[in-house]
Amino acid sequence: MTAPEPQLDLSGYLDACATSPPTAGVMGVMAELHHSAWANPSSLHGFGVRAAEVLERSRMHLADLLGASQHDLIFCSGASEAIHLALLGQGGMVPPGRLVISPVEHPATMAAAEKLLRQGWEVARVPVDQRGVINLTALRDLLVAPTRLVSLIWGQSEVGTLQPIEAVGRLCRDAGIPLHVDAVQVVGHRAVDAEALGVDLLSCTAHKLGGPRGIGLLLRRRGVPLLPQIGGAQEGGLRGGTEAAVLTAGFAQALEEASERLCHHGGQDPIAGLRDPLLAGLLELPGVSLSGPAPGDPEGRLPHHISLVVTSETGDPLPGRELVRALWRQGLAVSSGSACSAIASPGAGGGGSTVLQALGYPEALCASGLRISLGPWNRPEDLERVPAALERARRDIEGSAPGH
């Protein structure tokens, strides 16, 4: 008999915005269903009916938690696919026009926009301020012909900015233009009521909130047409392929746990109570400054998110990727920005962050970003060592620089 795997020590895992470890509740639900709901939900025999029942119960539960109808929910392999289905699916149902996005979108949105460009669309970017918040006046000016679709990231994964989606939704509704919202970093950290938001399309994924990888969803307001990107009869004919009932149940369990955590804390994410003292300690270090909005900013910041720009004591930019490696040598897992962006620009030094560029940072500082993102597994005592570890990492990199 194989011995069970030892439980991983998560005390140094500070990269929740990249992905989160599945919760014990999620693992338990999925382990049970792997034995009873493994069949194809489209099959007509009893095994298939059992899987179909799990699939539809998960759909109903997720829709209820997100303030939507079960008929609005389309399962996908993850948020990247959901974003492509939203943009390319909506774009394929209308004549080419203008897509409006921001310069701080996730790479999946940028990739879908590039595809629309090749199909004859125009892409316009709404400017953002030094916090990463979009200019609502500039957006309003773009909500005229030939604009046919708006897509905005709600919670920016690299600098933590929360966009004023409620105000954006009102502007888009008044202009009669569909709005897609990338809610990947927000779902699980604040209550989401899709009906109240008034968005037409909303994408999210399970693995950012303690759920399994390989499952995401797109909420579609009834009446919004979509051109399927993967043919097949499943998901109302909008996304072909055998549905993974076990993964959908894991997703539903993860969102239920996150929603209960919010409910028990008056609708606020308690992780902010860990984040704020940690941020205060980090900002006392020489050469460390905050990027994106401050936690108390009226526009808001993701509650579990810290983003920093790090320089030497003399003001010379330090490579964020080198800081990530130096911190990992001390047992701390952090990021230098979006994990998906990191794949696109590998290398020792890495390229400058396009997000920091959009915020107006000098080019020399755009490779010096550092992101720390927390989860419910983190405890106050886990975070006490982080400022000292960052100071050691900073000094190590300074000491190894040419001329030292």
Chain-centroid distance of CA 334 in Å reads 16
C-alpha 136/C-alpha 140 separation (Å) is 6
DSSP-derived 3-state class of residue 138: helix
Q: Is 340 a catalytic residue?
A: yes
Chain-centroid distance of CA 8 in Å reads 24
Yes or no: say if 136 and 168 are a contact pair by the CB < 8 Å rule. Answer: yes
Encode burial over 345-354: b for 16+ CB neighbours within 10 A, e otherwise.
eeeeebebbb
Other beta carbons within 10 angstroms of residue 168's beta carbon come to 24
DSSP 198: T
DSSP-derived 3-state class of residue 47: helix
Among candidate residues 54, 21, 26, 79, the one with its CA nearest the CA of residue 216: 79
Q: Domain limits of the chain?
A: 24-262, 272-400
pLDDT at 198: 86
DSSP-derived 3-state class of residue 311: strand
Q: What is the CA radius of gyration of the chain?
A: 22
Residue bearing tokens 């994990």? 339
C-alpha 9/C-alpha 22 separation (Å) is 13
User: What ranges make up the beta strands (E) of 171-237?
Assistant: 179-182, 201-205, 216-220
pLDDT at 261: 97
Residues 102-145: pLDDT tens digits?
Answer: 999 999 999 999 999 999 999 999 999 999 999 999 999 999 99
How far is CA 51 from each of CA 48, 57, 235, 293, rounded to the nearest angstrom? Answer: 5, 10, 14, 45
Yes or no: say if 139 and 126 are a contact pair by the CB < 8 Å rule. Answer: yes
| Residuewise pLDDT in 10s, the chain (404 residues) | 455 555 689 999 999 999 999 999 999 999 999 999 999 999 999 999 999 999 999 999 999 999 999 889 999 999 999 999 999 999 999 999 999 999 999 999 999 999 999 999 999 999 999 999 999 999 999 999 999 999 999 999 999 999 999 999 999 999 999 999 999 999 999 999 998 998 999 999 999 999 999 999 999 999 999 999 999 999 999 999 999 999 999 999 999 999 999 999 999 999 999 999 999 999 999 999 999 999 988 779 999 999 999 999 889 999 999 999 999 999 999 999 644 555 444 443 446 899 999 999 999 999 999 999 999 999 999 999 999 999 999 999 987 765 55
Other beta carbons within 10 angstroms of residue 3's beta carbon come to 5
Q: Which CATH class name applies to 272-400?
A: alpha beta
Q: Looking at 76, 263, 340, 366, which residue is catalytic? A: 340
The two structure tokens encoding residue 390 = 């960052």
Give me the helices (H) in 15-162, please.
24-36, 46-65, 79-91, 107-118, 136-142
C-alpha 108/C-alpha 87 separation (Å) is 10
C-alpha 319/C-alpha 397 separation (Å) is 9
CATH assignment, 24-262: 3.40.640.10
Among candidate residues 278, 334, 388, 335, the one with its CA nearest the CA of residue 14: 334
pLDDT at 281: 98
pLDDT at 401: 62
